[in-house]
């Protein structure tokens, strides 16, 4: 039973991660944070939206565990949690391995069953 609970949590956790990254604004913020922690004002500058709307995007990223933020004086600094992104990368790597194995098996099957030219 604990395994099913773990799988359900993992599935929900991945869904939250992929949902957070599915929006172009949030994806752009994530990419900008690859250069290091940044103040909210710098992250918001390239986006043509009101600050309250932009802050909603930051809340989605933080709720999904993609970012963290902390107050430094009067400035809020946002940082990327790369270990959280690694979870998504691991999920894709496992799927890639599974599909690669399946295609290899299909190729081997076709090689065995292919008629030899006369």
In Å, what is the CA distance from 87 to each residue of 48, 58, 61, 63? 31, 20, 15, 15
CATH of the domain at 66: 1.10.10.10
**What is the number of domains present in the chain?**
1
- Nearest-5° angle of CA 75, CA 39, CA 89? 135
Please choose, from the candidates 51, 83, 79, 55, the residue with its C-alpha nearest in 3D space to the C-alpha of residue 67: 79
Q: Tell me, yes or no, whether 118 lies in a domain.
A: no
Q: Tell me, yes or no, whether 31 lies in a domain.
A: yes
Q: Tell me, yes or no, whether 52 lies in a domain.
A: yes
> Of 23 and 12, which is predicted with more confidence?
23
pLDDT tens digits for 69-108? 999 999 999 999 999 999 988 888 887 887 777 777 787 7
- List the domain range (segments joined by +) for residue 13: 2-113
pLDDT tens digits for 18-63? 999 999 999 999 999 999 999 999 999 999 999 999 999 999 999 9
Note the pLDDT of residue 12: 74
Q: Tell me, yes or no, whether 23 lies in a domain.
A: yes
Prediction pTM value? 0.73
Q: Tell me, yes or no, whether 10 lies in a domain.
A: yes
Q: Tell me, yes or no, whether 95 lies in a domain.
A: yes
Note the pLDDT of residue 97: 81
Q: Tell me, yes or no, whether 17 lies in a domain.
A: yes
């Amino acid at each position: 039973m604990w395994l099913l609970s773990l799988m359900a949590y993992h599935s929900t956790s991945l869904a939250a991660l992929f949902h957070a990254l599915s929006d172009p604004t949030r994806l752009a913020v994530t990419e900008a944070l690859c250069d290091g922690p940044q103040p909210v004002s710098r992250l918001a500058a390239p986006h043509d939206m009101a600050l309250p709307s932009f802050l909603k995007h930051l809340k989605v990223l933080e709720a999904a565990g993609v970012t963290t933020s902390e107050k430094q004086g009067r400035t809020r600094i946002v940082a990327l949690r790369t270990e959280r992104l690694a979870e998504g990368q691991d999920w894709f790597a496992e799927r890639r391995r599974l599909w690669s194995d399946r295609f290899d098996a299909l190729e081997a099957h076709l090689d065995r069953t292919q008629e030899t030219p006369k």
